[in-house]
Amino acid sequence: MTTPFSRTVLTALFCLFAFFFGAFVQERPAGITRDTIAHAEQLIGLTFTDAKRDSMLQSLDELRANYDSLRKVPLPNSVAPALYFNPMPVNFRFDKAAPPMALSQQPRVDLPKNRDDLAFYSVRELAVLIRTKKVSSLELTRFFLERLKKYDAKLLCVVSLTEARALEQAVRADRELAAGTYRGVLHGIPYGLKDLFAVKGTKTTWGSVPYKDQTIDEDATVYKKLDAAGAVLVAKFTLGELAQGDVWFGGMTRNPWNLEQGSSGSSAGSAAAVSAGLVPFAIGTETLGSIVSPSTRCGVTGLRPTFGRVSRHGAMALSWSMDKIGPICRTVEDCAIVFDAIRGSDGLDKTVVDAPFAYDGTAPLKTFKVGYLKSAFEQPSPTASFDSLALVKLRALGAELVPIELPTLPIQAMRIILVAEAAAAFDELTRSGRDSLMVRQHRGAWPNTFRQSRFIPAVEYLQANRVRTRLIEEMNTVMANIDVFIAPSFVGNQLTLTNLTGHPCVVVPNGFAQNGSPVSISFIGKLYGEAATLAVAKHYQDATDFHKRHPKLP
């Protein structure tokens, strides 16, 4: 029970508290209230009491001020987070000493009666012609430059020709060969780069309107390694804007098999150009299917290496923990040749591991333990008949196929890892409003994805990566008793899953649908197991002729 005096004191204290609290509320920046928090709770699937909301108000104001401070620090796309993804399971080891790459026996190669047929020669075949001086690098470079000029209007696959540079590199290659210097299989071979790789003296547009005049004054490590191998850069190829799809600021890159159809993405131009015989090989990138998908659509062969095999220095970042660089070629062995040239550390990309690459193109198929993704082959799909015939072919070749199943964790839910990292990579684009300049503006396009990804809580991003750790360990168990497994390229969640875990994949042509469109099959290997994956895929490809068929362009 209170006295009149005590009631007076309590009233005074209450009024004093109300004065200061009222002043505090008046000074609070408009926006963050208990109702704001209550609405935000709906986005994250949690519910707090009013008392708990009150206790958060001041801290949320402080956090917002901290965000403003961080946004004042310049962060170009090339700056990676101080956190690096490591795909290795616990106690993972690989043999650091291994023999060098051994290619299969190369038959005699002669110039074709019809010079246009050179467009579809493999890297190895062209290399023989150059080494034996049946054709010069300069002749070959001019040949492919003319094809690029002739067919780009139909395919929209070229962002920029690098003609002057290419002719200089070709002359150098011929001069070196005449002097007795041969750099290897790629010596004098023309190729193209996806236009998210920086090369001094060229535009690097990332396929997107806000960056279409961008130049970056450095050379990507991949370009430097290919230059050291003697390869000749003839073009920089299209990619869907910021590595999504096949639509870029110049239009939609076309599928050479069907000019009414896009070439898929995001390595759209690289796959289309190889398919159409505009270059012998090209470099693509994959975060969530950007080598596998366009290689399938265009009927070519692609290698997505293990995460951390090829330096991404000088390449546009989309997802620091998922981006991978690999070759798109005519044959599996061409992929092995190009991969061997571009792999390895450079001291600049801290995720790169110097694992061995002991590819042997002569190793018998029975050397390898091959699995198959049983449930995916049993599932109805548009490619089911082609997929099942691949199993029949492998068994006929002597493979003893072991049924496997992949982990059942929530794979699609982990896509927030990619989109959160992508939103961070292009944070300045979103905040500046220049995202409105991009061509694609629908709900599933990058501008909207970047915006909505800002509402992914940091806690959930980290939780997704913790689930990813479990996924890596469970995949290690799946792969324990096999070297490689075969899977339909787009049935189930294997494409997303193996991109999250960082496993390598070789995708090869596997026939043609009734409408004439190519289909594919995928071979997935152990971490850093590109050698075995390529060797098994080569056995399959050598037993088929799908990779030898080419589109007929008007």
- 199: in domain: yes
Same domain, 50 and 124: no
Does residue 12 lie within any of the structural domains? no
Residues 43, 45, 46, 50, CA torsion sign: positive
Q: What is the tens place of the pLDDT at every residue in 286-301? A: 999 999 999 999 999 9
Cβ density class 61-86: b for 16+ within 10 Å, e for less = eeeeeeeeeeeeeeeebbebeeeebe
Q: Is residue 142 part of a domain?
A: yes
Pairing between strand 301-304 and 370-373?
A: unpaired
Same-domain status, 35 and 125: no
Last residue of a domain, one of 67, 96, 124: 67
CA distance 275 to 167: 23
Identity of the amino acid at 102: A
Query: Shortest CA distance to 78 belongs to which of 312, 409, 253, 377?
Result: 312
Give the global pTM: 0.92
User: Over 60: is that where the pLDDT of 10 sits?
Assistant: no
Each residue of 147-179: pLDDT tens digit? 999 999 999 999 999 999 999 999 999 999 999
| Judgement on whether residues 509 and 394 belong to the same structural domain of the protein | yes
Is the pLDDT confidence value at 480 over 50?
A: yes
Q: pLDDT band for position 25 (50/70/90)? A: very low
Burial class (CB in 10 A: 0-12, 13-18, 19+), 171: middle
Active site residue 236: no
pLDDT surpasses 60 at 7 = no
Whether 305 and 209 share a structural domain = yes
Catalytic residue at 453?
no
Please tell me whether residues 61 and 127 are part of one structural domain: no
Catalytic member of 137, 263, 266, 293: 266
pLDDT at 23: 36
- Let me know whether 394 and 482 are in one domain: yes
- The catalytically annotated residue of 194, 225, 526, 538 is 194
Does residue 415 carry a pLDDT above 90? yes
| Strands in 410-517 per DSSP E | 484-488, 505-512
Percent of the chain whose predicted confidence (pLDDT) is above 90: 92
195 pLDDT higher than 60: yes
pLDDT band at 8; cut points 50, 70, 90:
very low
Residue 323 lies in a domain: yes
pLDDT of res. 30: 61
Per-residue model confidence (pLDDT) at position 179: 98
Q: Are 40 and 175 in the same domain?
A: no
Domain at 205, CATH number? 3.90.1300.10
Q: Which of 75, 302, 282, 306 has its CA nearest to residue 197? A: 282
**Which among 67, 92, 127 is the end of a domain?**
67
| 489 catalytically annotated | no
* 382 assigned to some structural domain: yes
Which residues are paired to 284 by β-bridges?
A: 326
d(CA 435, CA 18): 46
Amino acid at 446: W
Count of structural domains within the chain: 2
Q: pLDDT digits over 254-285, tens only? A: 999 999 999 999 999 999 999 999 999 999 99
**Quick one: pLDDT at residue 11?**
42
Total length of the chain = 554
290, 293, 321, 520: the active-site residue = 290
Answer yes or no: do 337 and 476 share one domain. Answer: yes
Region 526-547: mean pLDDT is 98
Where residue 344 falls (left for φ over 0; alpha for ψ -120 to 50; beta otherwise) is: left
281 Rama class: left (phi>0) / alpha (psi -120 to 50) / beta: beta
pLDDT band of residue 117 (cuts 50, 70, 90) is very high
The pLDDT value recorded for residue 12 is 40
Do 203 and 302 fall into the same domain?
Answer: yes
Residue 328: pLDDT over 80: yes
Does the residue 13 lie in any domain?
A: no
Task: Please compute the mean of the pLDDT values over residues 422-443 and round it to a whole number.
Answer: 97
**424 lies in a domain?**
no
Q: What percent of the chain has pLDDT over 70?
A: 94
On the question of pLDDT at 24 being above 80, the answer is: no
Which pLDDT belongs to residue 21? 37
State the residue range of the domain holding 50.
24-67
- Point out the domain boundary residue: 33, 67, 101: 67
> Looking at the domain assignment, is residue 152 inside a domain?
yes
